[in-house]
Amino acid sequence: MNLDIKTIMVMNLIINVVATISIAIIWYYNKNRFAGVTLWVWCLFFQVVGILLILLQGVIHDSLSILLSNVLLICSTLILLVGLEDFTNCKGKHTHNYIFIFLFVVLRYYFTFIDPNLGFRELIMSGAIIIMDSQICWLMFKRVPYPMRQMTLLTGIVSGGFVLASIFKLAMIIGFDLQSNEFFKSGVINSLTITMYITLNFCITISLILMINKRLLKDVETEKDKFNKAFDLSPYALIITDMYTNEILEVNQSYIDMFGYKRDTCCRKNGRQKIYCSCFSYA
Average pLDDT, the chain: 85
Tens digits of per-residue pLDDT, 43-72? 999 999 999 999 998 899 989 999 999 999
Residue 222 backbone class (left: φ over 0; alpha: ψ -120 to 50; beta: rest) = alpha
pLDDT at 261 over 60: yes
Query: What global pTM score does this model have?
Result: 0.79
Angle at the Cα of 170 (from 169 to 171), degrees rounded to 5? 90
The Cα 85–Cα 235 span in angstroms is 41
The Cα 26–Cα 19 span in angstroms is 11
Percentage, residues of the chain above pLDDT 70: 89
Instruction: Give the residue among 105, 31, 104, 43 at the shortest CA–CA distance from 73.
Output: 43
What is the per-residue pLDDT for 4? 83
The Cα 255–Cα 283 span in angstroms is 10
Measure the N-to-C terminal CA separation of the chain; round to a whole number of Å: 82
251 pLDDT band (50/70/90 cuts)? confident
Instruction: Tell me how crowded residue 140 is: count the other CB atoms within 10 A of its CB.
Output: 26
Instruction: Tell me how crowded residue 272 is: count the other CB atoms within 10 A of its CB.
Output: 6
In the chain, where does DSSP find H-type helix?
5-30, 37-55, 62, 69-88, 95-109, 118-138, 149-175, 188-233, 253-259, 263-266
Q: Where are the domains of the chain?
A: 5-224, 235-282
Tens digits of per-residue pLDDT, 154-177? 999 999 999 999 999 999 888 887
Q: For residue 191, give every residue at least 6 positions away whose Cβ sits within 8 Å of its Cβ, in sequence order, or none.
A: 2, 3, 4, 5, 8
